């Protein structure tokens, strides 16, 4: 019997990969995004969806049995996610695969622990995925744009090591959880196979891009300035700052074998990821002077 699956955040780093992997399978697939027009050409029905707009919940959930829910690290969304989970239960959804961040399982960080608690207390079956930051953050969004424009990797990460994971691996685990009931009531910590510092990451990017890319440690306030300039909300900015504080405290250096066990192979290495996306940096203009917000790291 065809299973009907809703992917929330279908244009996000992990969500887009979940859509790609589910598309050839025998599922009734529906992709939800704030801008469903971005899904044109994927061959997947898109539906307008916004966690801050409860009126979009019921149309997206109609006839759905399983949901992939990637929740951004924004504490102000926790109540909205709880409302969505309640609506999903009323709509007859059976199972939700909830993707959050590693910190949620460690000590309730990033304000997102209430999301998991609410899902666990609901009538829904669940699978919890807690992932370290994605490798794709170096190709997309603010970080990727700064690398392309300046040739600098500007982050308030100090000398922290991070076991970055490829969003393609996270998506593969999510699809397995959606399709196989054996993953229900499981909590999975997903990391890459190796923890690396950002100077080493810059060296890999330089090698594959064929130009110098330098790691420039910055302050937390510099990050705030950059994200405000990109139009981010204050709660989301503070969640990202907290993520880097945890990074510098060593929390994301954890290497778990869970992804390898579930994928039946080693997770994608950063070197492999960089080679796969080399054109994301190679086509950038020559390095300019650092942006004004990339001040040297001070006490942050």
Q: Which residues of 161-187 are buried (b: 16+ CB within 10 A; e: fewer)?
A: bbbbbbbbbbbbbbbbbbbeeebeeee
Q: Is the pLDDT higher at 138 or at 282?
A: 138
Residue with tokens 């589910």: 22
Q: Which of 167, 209, 146, 147 lies closest to 70, judged by CA?
A: 167
- For residues 280 and 284, give the distance between their C-alpha atoms in angstroms, rounded to a whole number: 8
pLDDT computed for residue 142 by the predictor: 81
**Predicted TM-score (pTM) of this structure:** 0.89
pLDDT computed for residue 284 by the predictor: 47
Q: Span 140-150, mean pLDDT?
A: 85
Give me the numbers of helices (H) and strands (E) for the chain, helices first please: 13, 11
pLDDT tens for each residue of 163-205: 999 999 999 999 999 999 999 999 999 999 999 999 999 999 9
pLDDT computed for residue 112 by the predictor: 63
Q: Is the pLDDT higher at 208 or at 142?
A: 208
pLDDT tens for each residue of 23-53: 999 999 999 998 888 888 788 989 999 999 9
- For residues 24 and 43, give the distance between their C-alpha atoms in angstroms, rounded to a whole number: 10
- Three-class SS of residue 241? helix
pLDDT computed for residue 158 by the predictor: 95
Asked if 115 and 257 count as a contact pair (C-beta separation under 8 A), the reply is no
Asked if 17 and 7 count as a contact pair (C-beta separation under 8 A), the reply is no
Q: What angle do CA 210, 212, 218 make, to 5 degrees?
A: 140
| Bridge partners, 186 (sequence order) | 127
**How far, in whole angstroms, is CA 245 from its chain's centroid?**
18
């Amino acid at each position: 019997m065809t299973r009907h699956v809703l992917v929330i955040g279908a244009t996000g780093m992990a969500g887009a990969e979940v859509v790609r992997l589910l598309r050839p399978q025998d599922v009734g697939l529906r992709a939800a995004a704030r801008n469903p027009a971005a899904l044109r050409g994927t061959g997947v029905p898109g539906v307008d969806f916004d966690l801050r707009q409860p009126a979009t919940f019921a149309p997206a959930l109609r006839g759905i049995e399983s949901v992939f829910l990637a929740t951004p690290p924004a504490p102000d969304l926790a109540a909205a996610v709880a409302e969505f989970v309640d609506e999903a239960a009323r709509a007859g959804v059976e199972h939700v695969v909830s993707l959050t961040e590693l910190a949620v399982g460690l000590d309730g960080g990033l304000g997102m622990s209430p999301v998991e608690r609410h899902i666990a207390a609901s009538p829904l079956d669940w699978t919890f995925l807690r992932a370290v930051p994605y490798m794709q953050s170096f190709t997309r969004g603010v970080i990727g744009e700064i690398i392309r424009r300046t040739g600098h990797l500007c982050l308030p990460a100090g000398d922290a090591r991070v076991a970055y994971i490829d969003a393609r691996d996270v998506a593969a685990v999510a699809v397995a959880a959606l399709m196989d009931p054996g993953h229900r009531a499981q909590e999975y910590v997903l990391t890459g196979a190796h923890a690396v510092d950002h100077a080493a990451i810059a060296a890999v990017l330089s090698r594959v891009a064929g130009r110098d890319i330098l790691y420039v440690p910055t302050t937390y306030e510099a990050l705030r300035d950059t994200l405000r300039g990109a139009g981010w909300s204050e709660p989301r900015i503070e969640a990202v700052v907290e993520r880097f504080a945890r990074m510098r405290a060593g929390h994301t250096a954890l290497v778990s074998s869970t992804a390898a066990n579930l994928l039946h192979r080693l997770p994608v290495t950063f070197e492999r990821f960089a080679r796969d996306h080399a054109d994301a940096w190679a086509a950038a203009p020559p390095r300019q002077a650092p942006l004004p917000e990339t001040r040297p790291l001070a006490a942050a």
